[in-house]
């Protein structure tokens, strides 16, 4: 019988530019084994102070729109008190207040219960740290 709680860590390289990385397929692969057809919850968590998890549409420009909005709300300039790293890096530390570092999603019959155009995404504006981890945890009955 499958265990009620299963977790794994994804290791990602996000590159040297701001990015929205679609994690949906990785979440689905994890649930194929972890959920085994059961109902439950998938928690997606990024243990970094400068990245977040968003549920958005990808591939139609929404991911680029999100990054554009974040650049407007959180400009990479010298206004930030937190000043180590690349210029404007302080904004990266404010990002998780707007794009939280976690999301909890329903799993029905072992599958993510997302809307038609929804994807699970890592949002990373920190160009100084290209190595990221994302923890996937399934809690099911």
Domain definitions of the chain by residue range:
5-140
The DSSP symbol for 101 reads S
Domain 5-140 coded CATH 2.40.50.320: no
pTM of the model: 0.95
Confidence at 2, pLDDT banded by 50, 70, 90: confident
pLDDT exceeds 90 at position 67: yes
**How far is the C-alpha of 21 from the C-alpha of 8, rounded, in Å?**
18
Contact 13, 131 (CB under 8 A): yes
pLDDT (mean) for 109-118: 97
Q: At what angle do helices 90-98 and 62-73 cross, to 10 degrees?
A: 120
**How far is the C-alpha of 130 from the C-alpha of 12, rounded, in Å?**
8
Confidence at 72, pLDDT banded by 50, 70, 90: very high
pLDDT exceeds 80 at position 112: yes
Mind listing the pLDDT tens digit for each residue in 29-57? 999 999 999 999 999 999 999 999 999 99
């Amino acid at each position: 019988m499958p265990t009620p709680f299963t977790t794994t860590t994804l290791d990602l390289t996000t590159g040297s530019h701001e990015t929205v990385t679609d994690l949906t397929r990785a979440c689905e692969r994890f649930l194929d084994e972890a959920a085994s057809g059961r109902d439950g919850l998938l928690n997606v968590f990024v243990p970094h102070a400068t990245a977040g998890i968003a549920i958005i549409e990808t591939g139609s420009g929404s991911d680029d729109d999100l990054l554009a909005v974040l650049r407007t709300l959180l400009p990479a300039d010298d206004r930030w008190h937190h000043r180590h790293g690349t210029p404007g890096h302080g904004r990266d530390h404010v990002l998780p207040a707007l794009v939280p570092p976690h999301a909890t999603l329903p799993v029905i019959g072992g599958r993510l219960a997302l809307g038609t155009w929804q994807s699970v995404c890592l949002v990373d504006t920190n160009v100084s740290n290209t190595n990221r981890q994302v923890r996937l945890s399934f809690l099911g009955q």
